[in-house]
Chains A and B, each alone.
Chain A
Amino acid sequence: MTTNDIVKPENLVYAKTPVLSDAVMHYCPGCSHGVVHKLVAEVIEDLQIQEQTIGIAPVGCAVFAYNYLEIDWQEAAHGRAPALATAVKRLHPHKYVFTYQGDGDLAAIGTAETIHACNRGENIVIIFINNGIYGMTGGQMAPTTLEGMKASTCPSGRNHERDGFPLKMSDLLALLPGTCYVTRQSVHTPGNVRKAKKAITQAFNNQKAQKGTSVVEIVSSCNSGWKMSPVQANKWMEEHMFQQYPLGDLKNI
């Protein structure tokens, strides 16, 4: 049997979604962004909403998200993605609008835009990548950095007396009446990838049902920023990040 005998449509069990482009991703090996991009792309394909979806890219490692998903995109200023998404959705009420933001973008510089978009119950999806560090700028402390965790701007570890406490942004957002769905997921095992995809699918379905804001937090590793191998980083994430940021639904109505 040759390879050509095997490569036939009837034998196909998995293929890259056409919503994902062929561009080579710039992410570090071991990074979660690539997996989450793929999940968002697959959900867009599954729901057949490629022509109706507008993505808002952040400032941070995912600034080039627009290179990887074959949909229309707007690239926002740092933290402002929910403000852009608000206007895009209000002016296009029947289109699907999502932001894709990291923890620095969403939970530090964009805190106000995030809270107010959620509080207005904007019919959008927020994909929130929380890796506890600033990846793109080279590993500085984030609002979500754990206590004791080292970063280039807290080289001896985060100390709450000096640096404040790690911010549990999703917990805050779940309190707001405008959010309908706030969930915390991860993509570090095949099982978690499947759960995360289910969560992203539900978030987009909520938008279709005009239920309010859906927030999908993905607790992620940043092995480069954490100065670990990808395997070590995933282990460290399970042991430490999940303590502070436990996985599961915070709100689902």
Chain B
Amino acid sequence: MKEVKLLKGNEAIAEAAIRYGVDGYFGYPITPQSEIMETLMAQHPWDTTGMVVLQAESETASINMVYGGAGCGKKVMTSSSSPGMSLMQEGLSYIAGAELPCVVINVVRGGPGLGTIQPAQSDYFQSVKGGGHGDYKLIVLAPSSVQEMADFVPLAFELAFKYRNPALILSDGMIGQMMEKVTLPPYQPRWTEQEIEQLHPWATTGKKAHRSKNVITSLELLSDEQERHNQKLQAKYQQMQATEVRYETFSCEDADYLLIAYGSSARVCQKAVEIARENGLKVGLLRPITLFPFPTEAIHKLAQQVKGILTVEMSAGQMVEDVRLAVEGKTPVAHFGRFGGIIPSPGEVVDAIKQQFIKG
């Protein structure tokens, strides 16, 4: 049965995880995402679904606990915010190299360094370009509502297991902290040991007499083999790019100007589109839902139609680089951003469109 609740984005993540039959959550407190672990602990799912919830000694430990759990073929996840995500990059590189499925949530706050606890989108590069060492990609989903925080937990796990690759839900302090109405998914049971052995024959479930041992590793010293492994990873990322791109458009059919924004910024831009149109400016919005794979083709297509593209990000301009690569010079591309925890207002966005493209 579907359940409708008024929840914070962070709480929605926790509720969705329990209902989806997640086996383990390993985390470390950091603002503005601590409600995820707090909600899980308050719900004590170990008594109901059997889900393990553990507070680790650091984000380094929590992501490596996720590695261990993922290696067993279990649905495991962690969450953090920007400084903690920096610590997790080592583990994520190993997880990607060992081709393990898991889900990580980053409720982004402003940086660099300790930065601020207010919302930001300045971890885009870290999220979509790999983040740790080596050539790898995370599947990156960008929710822009509390409903999507809940919906993307199952989606992220499905994609993670489909590709045996870590999936990241790239949220921010606004989506994590704000309350909205959310429809929660129905409960589904956790996988049984037998199901895991059938679904994930690679998992370390204990070596049975009928099969050879399973070894989870990212190590291969022979260069030929390591190159082949990398080619396999790259083919996987190309497959994602070909089949998993998700985005949404608003009022783009007749648009002269295009806004591109994800997450909180996309919410602001939706209002900016309304205000601009009330003022006679035909503005549309493209909201990438997957940041990797990026909606390159859709942006390239719209670039032929519009007189200018403005990316709106709560950063100094990171996604704008991928937009420029997609646009290939077909139309002018500009960036408008606020950072340090400031959320841009819709009016500021409309002003930025005018300033960039409709001078005088």
Contact = CB atoms under 8 A, between A and B. Distances in A.
Interface of A: 50-54, 56-57, 63, 66, 70-77, 80, 83-88, 90-92, 95, 112-113, 116
Interface residues of B, number: 38
Contacts of B52: 87, 90-91
B90 A77 contact: yes
A86 B58 CA distance: 14
B57 A113 contact: yes
21 contacts: A53-B207, A56-B68, A71-B206, A72-B206, A73-B214, A73-B216, A74-B71, A75-B219, A76-B67, A76-B94, A83-B61, A83-B64, A83-B65, A84-B64, A84-B67, A86-B68, A90-B24, A90-B52, A91-B23, A113-B61, A116-B56
A74 B57 contact: no
Nearest to A95: B206
Contact of B68 (A53, A71, A74): A74
A28 to B, nearest CB: 17
Given A52-B206, A113-B61, A72 B68 contact: no
B14 interface: no
Nearest to A57: B217
Contacts of B91: 77, 80
B64 A72 contact: no
Given A52-B206, A73-B204, A63 B219 contact: yes
A57 B68 CA distance: 12
Contacts of B217: 57, 66, 73-75
Given A53-B206, A91-B23, 9 more contacts: A50-B207, A51-B206, A74-B71, A75-B215, A75-B219, A77-B64, A86-B65, A91-B24, A116-B57
A-B complex: 5 closest residue pairs judged by Cβ atoms: A84-B68, A87-B68, A83-B64, A75-B217, A72-B204
B218 interface: yes
Interface string B62-85: 101111110110101000000000
A52 B219 CA distance: 24
B67 A51 contact: no
Given A72-B214, A75-B217, A113-B57, A87 B65 contact: yes
B69 A72 contact: no
A76 B67 CA distance: 8
Contacts of A66: 213, 215, 217
A53 B206 CA distance: 6
Q: Which of B26, B52, B58, B72 has the largest number of chain A CB atoms within 10 A?
A: B72
A88 B61 contact: no
Most buried by A among B57, B64, B94, B214: B64
B145 to A, nearest CB: 31
Given A51-B208, A77-B90, A91 B69 contact: yes
Contact of B72 (A50, A52, A86, A92): A92
A87 B66 contact: yes
A73 B207 CA distance: 9
B26 A87 contact: yes
B272 to A, nearest CB: 44
B279 to A, nearest CB: 54
Contacts of A84: 64-65, 67-68, 71
A76 B217 CA distance: 7
A7 B71 CA distance: 42
A113 B218 CA distance: 20
A83 B68 contact: yes
Contacts of A77: 64, 67, 90-91, 94
A72 B214 CA distance: 5
Nearest to B204: A72
Contact of B207 (A71, A87, A113, A116): A71
Which of A73, A86, A87 has most B Cβ within 10 Å? A87
A76 B24 CA distance: 18
A52 B90 CA distance: 29
Contacts of A75: 98, 215-219
B209 interface: yes
A112 B72 CA distance: 23
A66 to B, nearest CB: 5
B298 interface: no
Nearest to A88: B68
Contacts of A92: 72, 205-206
Contacts of A54: 72, 204, 206
Nearest to A119: B57
Interface in B32-68: 52, 54, 56-58, 60-62, 64-68
Contact of A73 (B60, B62, B74, B215): B215
B207 A88 contact: no
Given A73-B213, A91-B52, A91-B74, A116 B61 contact: yes
Given A87-B76, A88-B72, A70 B24 contact: no
A52 B71 CA distance: 15
B25 to A, nearest CB: 10
Contacts of B68: 56, 74, 76, 83-88, 91
Nearest to B62: A83
B224 to A, nearest CB: 18
A113 B69 contact: no
Nearest to B52: A90
A87 B206 contact: no
A83 B219 CA distance: 19
A15 to B, nearest CB: 19
A185 to B, nearest CB: 27
A53 B62 CA distance: 22
